[in-house]
Amino acid sequence: MKLNQLRSIIKEELKNSLNEYQDKFKMIGTLVTDINDRNQTEILSDIRSLAGVTIVGSEEPMAYADQDKSKFQSTLTIKVDGHPWITKGGFSRDKMEDVIEDVKKVPGVRGFFVKSDNISAL
């Protein structure tokens, strides 16, 4: 085998392996926050700044006036790109659990609940 052929094969394999790690996932869950402590805009901004999070959408299941401000609920849609994890051993559906735990650590978040069937690949 010639050197150029070997280089070509190696480049193709590297390209294929990198594409495997660039998976994107979407999850939908219920976010419970204390908006007496911090406003919802600041909390969502902090969630958007988490590693891999590319898009955060929020929808309120009840009217704002009808909700308990210390347990404010919203339906959160988060899209996650695996790029930050590529150099650290790859990205898979399992990493979504890490993202969920990171969301729970954001100040003002009281809980973030995601059913496993609400996590899907994009």
Assess if CATH 3.30.70.1150 describes domain 21-121.
yes
Which pLDDT score, from 0 to 100, does residue 21 have? 47
Of 59, 54, 94, whose CA–CA distance to 78 is shortest? 54
Tens-of-pLDDT digits for all 122 residues of the chain?
A: 788 888 888 877 776 665 544 578 999 999 999 999 899 999 999 999 999 998 889 998 888 888 888 899 999 999 998 878 777 777 778 889 999 999 999 999 999 999 988 988 88
Q: Angle CA(100)–CA(104)–CA(110) in degrees, nearest 5?
A: 135
Domain layout of the chain by residue ranges = 21-121
Which pLDDT score, from 0 to 100, does residue 18 have? 53
Spatial contact of 115 and 97, defined as CB atoms under 8 Å apart = no
